Amino acid sequence: MKVAVLGAGAIGAYVGAALHRAGVEVHLIARGEHLDAIRRSGVRVLSPRGDFVARPHATDDPHQVGPVDHVFLGLKANSYAAAGPMIKPLLHEATSIIAAQNGIPWWYFHGLKGPYEGYRIQSVDPGGAVSAALPLERAIGCVVYAATEIEEPGVIRHLEGTRFSIGEPDGTLTRRCAAFSDAAVAGGLKCPVERDLRRDVWIKLMGNIAFNPISALARATMAGICRHDGTRELVRAMMRETVEVAANVGCDPGISIERRLRGAEKAGEHKTSTLQDLEKGKPLELDVLLAAVVELADLTGAQVPTLRAIHAVSDLLAENLVRAV
């Protein structure tokens, strides 16, 4: 098996290192000091499950890699539309694209029977730009339940979780999913193949849709948001509205709001990825979290006043951040 990791940041490099440890031919596509460090010393993973070093090939040029069996996409979702030129050299006729994405994916209604089959979510896939770069028939969904960070260039701190749930948009169990899952498990990860990955999408989104924007607006950790009575209730309201939208598109996350809230609280003084991006002056990945769910609410008639309000102020924050760059 040959795998390219496009966007070998905290999550991508961690997955690539695990696959390499399992004997997979792995190519990390990265840039800057992080790439230089990996070329010199490999990927060093620091984990409560045991530290290790992997030395896969690393480059900033996908033409040096050529066609692969799987592209593991570690980019932020707001980079997908521009990823076509980087993806194209990695593709053969059967290459899959496994996108480790937060929020609502561009493939959400692909292969989903029902009244919205084939609907394009404009806030996620504006004008079909993402589908053009990442063809729907190549997509394998991936929901990440792992927390990692780049401690320094070439060094990945694994904080918690090893689960990367994957699945086909049409719910079939395919050889390509099984093969990737087997390799990931051999490398020390959990990688269940789910018939209904959309349920995992909504379970994770229940937390992301609330904690990520609030953390950026309040400059607060997840535990800090939970400790404050007002923001804790705000999270509950956002989760309630999110579950209503999920139900309207035919999905029941199957987890209570209180259980989801307690699970998030266990993360402690953890900064969400959105807050980390804000502190680094990077674009905020909020369209796939908030804008997409508000769009689905409009599509299905759900009333989501809290989500609309938080979307409005966080969208202004994101716009101001772009202007300041």
pLDDT, tens digit (0-9, with 9 covering 90-100), for 192-232: 999 999 999 999 999 999 999 999 999 999 999 999 999 99
What is the pLDDT, as a whole number, of residue 321? Answer: 82
Which pLDDT value is given to residue 267?
Answer: 79
| Domain 2-195 -> CATH class | alpha beta
pTM to 2 decimals? 0.94
Active-site annotation holds for 204: yes
Asked if the domains 2-195 and 198-324 are classified in one and the same CATH topology, the answer is no
Helix (H/G/I), strand (E/B), else coil: 268: coil
Confidence of residue 18 (pLDDT cuts 50, 70, 90): very high
Strands (E), the chain: 2-6, 25-29, 43-46, 52-54, 57-59, 70-73, 96-100, 139-152, 155-167
- What class has domain 198-324? mainly alpha
Ranges of each domain in the chain? 2-195, 198-324
Maximum separation of any 2 CA atoms in the chain, in Å: 54
Distance, first Cα to last Cα, the chain: 41
Catalytic residue among 204, 266, 280, 282: 204
Is 173 within 8 Å of 56 (Cβ atoms)? no
Burial of 97 (0-12, 13-18, 19+ CB in 10 A): buried
Rg of the Cα atoms in the chain: 19
Q: Is the pLDDT of residue 153 over 90?
A: yes
Entry field: residues in the chain: 325
